[in-house]
Structure 1
Amino acid sequence: MDVASRRTPLILCLLLAAVCGSALGLGEDLDRPLIGAPGAPIRMVESDPGLKKVLDFAEERYNLGSNAMHIRRVSKIISATKQVVKGIRYTITVELSNTQCKKSSMLRTCDFYSEPQKLKTEVCLFEVWDIPWQGTSTLLKQKCQPAVELHPKVTNYVDNPPSASSPPLQDSVELLGQFKEFMVKYNKVYSSQEEADRRLRIFHQNLETAEKIQSLDQGSAEYGVTKFSDLTEEEFRSTILNPMLSQWTLHQTLKPAAPARDPAPASWDWREHGAVSTVKNQGMCGSCWAFSVIGNIEGQWFLKNGTLLSLSEQELVDCDRVDQACRGGLPSNAYEAIEKLGGLETETDYSYTGHKQGCDFTSGKVAAYINSSVALPKQEKEIAAWLAENGPVSVALNAFAMQFYRKGVSHPMRIFCNPWMIDHAVLLVGYGERKGVPFWAIKNSWGEDYGEQGYYYLYRGSNLCGINQMCSSAVIN
Structure 2
Amino acid sequence: GVVRRASIMDERIPLTVKDIESSRGRTKGVRGAAVALLLVVGGLAAVSLSRNGRDTSAGGASSLTASAAAPAGPMEQQRPPSEQQQLPGSLAIQRASRSTPVYGDMTNAQLEEIWEDFLQDNNRGYADDSGEKAQRFQMFKQNLFFIDKLNAAYPDATFGITDRTDMSDAEKRRTRGLGPVEDSKLGGKTRYQALKDMYTDQDAIVLGEKGLDAVFDALSSKNMSFGMVPWVSASDCAACKRFEHFSLYTWDNLPENFDWRELGAVTDVKNQKYCGSCWTFSTAADLEGTHFLATGELESLSEQQLVACNTADWGCDGGYPYRAMQYIHKFGGLVTDDAYGYKGICAWGDCGTPVAGTPTCHTEILNAELESKRVASIGGYQLVSLGAEYEALLRLALVKNGPISIAFNANGMDYYLHGVVGCSAENYCDAGAIDHHTPCDPSYLDHAVLIVGYGVEAGVPYWVIKNSWGDAWGEDGYYRIVRGSNHCGVANFAVHSVVKSNSD
- TM-score (normalised: structure 1): 0.61
Amino acid at match of 2:407: A
Distance 1:232 1:359, change over 3 A: same
Matched, 1:368 2:305: no
- Give CA-to-partner distance per residue, 1:343-397, whole Å, 9 cap, x none: 1121122111234222113222233121211111442111111101110000010
Taking the TM superposition and a 5 Å limit, the aligned residue runs for 1:68-467 are 172-190=108-126, 193-194=129-130, 195-217=132-154, 219-241=155-177, 243=179, 249-250=220-221, 252-253=224-225, 254-261=228-235, 262-263=249-250, 264-353=254-343, 354=345, 355=347, 356-361=358-363, 362-365=366-369, 366-378=374-386, 379-411=390-422, 413=431, 416-467=439-490
| Cα distance in 1, alignment partners of residues 361 and 263 from structure 2 | 34
Conservation of the 8 A alpha-carbon contact between 2:38 and 2:443: no
Conservation of the 8 A alpha-carbon contact between 2:310 and 2:324: yes
Amino acid at match of 1:445: S
Distance 1:395 1:41, change over 3 A: closer
| Cα distance in 2, alignment partners of residues 172 and 417 from structure 1 | 29
- Give CA-to-partner distance per residue, 1:85-111, whole Å, 9 cap, x none: xxxxxxxxxxxxxxxxxxxxxxxxxxx
| Cα distance in 1, alignment partners of residues 417 and 142 from structure 2 | 18
Q: CA RMSD in A?
A: 2.9
Q: State the shift of 1:196 in Å.
A: 2.4
Q: State the shift of 1:434 in Å.
A: 1.1
| Cα distance in 2, alignment partners of residues 295 and 210 from structure 1 | 30
Amino acid at match of 1:177: E
Conservation of the 8 A alpha-carbon contact between 1:224 and 1:404: yes
Q: State the shift of 1:430 in Å.
A: 0.3
Q: State the shift of 1:172 in Å.
A: 3.5
Amino acid at match of 2:124: K
Distance 1:191 1:419, change over 3 A: same
| Cα distance in 2, alignment partners of residues 209 and 453 from structure 1 | 23
| Cα distance in 1, alignment partners of residues 486 and 127 from structure 2 | 43
Runs of 4+ in 1 over 4 A off after TM superposition: 242-248, 412-415
Conservation of the 8 A alpha-carbon contact between 2:468 and 2:477: yes
Q: State the shift of 1:250 in Å.
A: 4.3
Amino acid at match of 2:229: K
Distance 1:240 1:399, change over 3 A: closer
Conservation of the 8 A alpha-carbon contact between 2:229 and 2:380: no
Q: State the shift of 1:327 in Å.
A: 1.0
Report SS of the residue matched to 1:345: coil
Q: State the shift of 1:197 in Å.
A: 2.5
- Give CA-to-partner distance per residue, 1:383-417, whole Å, 9 cap, x none: 11110111000001011121221111001659932
Conservation of the 8 A alpha-carbon contact between 1:256 and 1:376: no
Question: In percent, how many aligned pairs have the same letter?
Answer: 37
Amino acid at match of 1:174: Q
Structure 1, unpaired ranges of 5+: 1-32, 43-165
Distance 1:453 1:175, change over 3 A: same
Q: Which moved more, 1:334-343 or 1:279-288?
A: 334-343
Conservation of the 8 A alpha-carbon contact between 1:335 and 1:373: yes
Q: State the shift of 1:181 in Å.
A: 2.7
Distance 1:368 1:399, change over 3 A: same
- TM-score (normalised: structure 2): 0.58
Distance 1:470 1:377, change over 3 A: closer
Q: State the shift of 1:174 in Å.
A: 2.2
Conservation of the 8 A alpha-carbon contact between 1:206 and 1:230: yes
| Cα distance in 1, alignment partners of residues 362 and 38 from structure 2 | 37
Q: State the shift of 1:243 in Å.
A: 4.7
Amino acid at match of 1:203: F
- Give CA-to-partner distance per residue, 1:131-176, whole Å, 9 cap, x none: xxxxxxxxxxxxxxxxxxxxxxxxxxxxxxxxxxx99x9x834223
Report the count of equivalent residues.
317
Higher RCO, 1 or 2 (CA under 8 Å, sep at least 6)? 2
- Give CA-to-partner distance per residue, 1:221-279, whole Å, 9 cap, x none: 11121111001112211343255898763462543333133323212100111110111
Structure 2, unpaired ranges of 5+: 7-36, 40-103, 182-190, 193-218, 236-248, 348-357, 424-430
Conservation of the 8 A alpha-carbon contact between 2:177 and 2:447: yes
Conservation of the 8 A alpha-carbon contact between 1:34 and 1:41: no
